[in-house]
Amino acid sequence: MAGDYVIQLTDADFETQVLKADVPVLVDFWASWCGPCKAIAPLIEELAAGYAGKVKVCKVNVDENPATPGRYGVRGIPTLILFKGGKVVDQLVGAVPKNQLEDLLQKAL
């Protein structure tokens, strides 16, 4: 199942899973009440499966983990931030089409 490729993160394990990762990491900042977040969730899972081994895909629930989105200036959700080597490569805000998500991932490969 595609959902198996997406890692749910907390503020506590963000540094280990994202900043110290040896592959690029796409982080989806979302909330359960966010309609656009739910709309792009299947795309995120599809990309996670398609890029398995090349890019790690993670989700952070902003309601349960407020420190991390605050640190990265997340104001609107969904916000997708691409990290490589512990640094922000780029980010997208809002429900965007799959090709835009793929273009984002290509920047780190």
What pLDDT is recorded for position 4? 83
pLDDT, tens digit, 9 for 90 and up, residues 9-68: 999 999 999 999 999 999 999 999 999 999 999 999 999 999 999 999 999 999 999 999
Give the whole-angstrom CA distance, residue 106 versus residue 50: 13
Locate tokens 């490569």: which residue? 89
CB atoms within 10 A of CB 56: 21
Give the whole-angstrom CA distance, residue 23 versus residue 83: 9
What domains are there in the chain, each with its CATH number? 2-106 (3.40.30.10)
Give the whole-angstrom CA distance, residue 14 versus residue 27: 10
Longest CA–CA span in the chain (Å) reads 32
Active site residue 58: no
Catalytic residue among 6, 26, 34, 77: 34
Q: Indicate the pLDDT class of residue 3, thresholds 50, 70 and 90.
A: low
Examine the pLDDT at 77 and tell me if it is beyond 50. Answer: yes
Helix, strand, or coil here: 5?
helix
Closest CA to 47 of 57, 59, 37: 57
Catalytic residue among 25, 27, 37, 81: 37
What pLDDT is recorded for position 2? 44
What pLDDT is recorded for position 49? 95
